[in-house]
Amino acid sequence: MIHLKKIALITAVISVTAVMISCKKDVDLPIDTCVAGTGGEVMLVLQPEHHGVAIPSIPGYPDSAFIKFNVNEFPGDNPDLYDLVVTGNEGDNYVVVTGLKCGSYYIYMTGKDTSLDERVRGGIPYSFEETSGVKVIKIPITED
């Protein structure tokens, strides 16, 4: 009888230990590994398009990208609401943003459509998990 109690006790201890080990939470891994911001190795090439047509930077009115970190909704058109502002180079139909970390961003762009002689603007939420590389993103923009 004592021998059976020892076997039952050992079996119970092994079973409980196995359950505890298999249910152990991995506390060494961060809960959220992607927090948007600067200091990373991702480059974004942002291409503003109005009705599918590229909008190049022009003298006195360069394309501009306004980047808000860790959001998915439009924060507004006030530049002070954004974490990063980057302007394009004259003649280029894109704006390059370098040194970003993975995460969620709201990308808002402005430019001037010379065919209409109008200011155009618009934006999209954009998220990615990669920690390096280049991403080419078309940003749909429209007149005010």
Query: What pTM was estimated for this model as a whole?
Result: 0.77
Determine the pLDDT at residue 33. Answer: 83
Higher-scoring residue by pLDDT: 60, 47: 47
Query: pLDDT tens digits, residue range 89-140?
Result: 999 999 999 999 999 999 999 999 999 999 999 999 999 999 999 999 999 9
Determine the pLDDT at residue 56. Answer: 96
Query: Tell me, what DSSP letter sits at residue 25?
Result: -
Tell me the domains of the chain and their CATH numbers. Answer: 38-143 (2.60.40.10)
pLDDT at 31 over 60: no
For 21, the 3-state DSSP assignment is helix
Average pLDDT value for the chain: 83
Determine the pLDDT at residue 130. Answer: 96
DSSP for 49-78, written as a single string: EETTEE---BTTB--EEEEEET--S---S-
Amino acid at 95: V
- Tokens read off for 101: 């970390």
Determine the pLDDT at residue 32. Answer: 60
Q: Is there a contact between 124 and 67 (Cβ–Cβ < 8 Å)?
A: no
Average pLDDT over residues 28-54: 86
Q: Is there a contact between 140 and 52 (Cβ–Cβ < 8 Å)?
A: no
Determine the pLDDT at residue 144. Answer: 73
Average pLDDT over residues 21-30: 36
Q: Tell me the CA end-to-end span of the chain in Å, nearest whole number.
A: 88
Average pLDDT over residues 10-21: 38
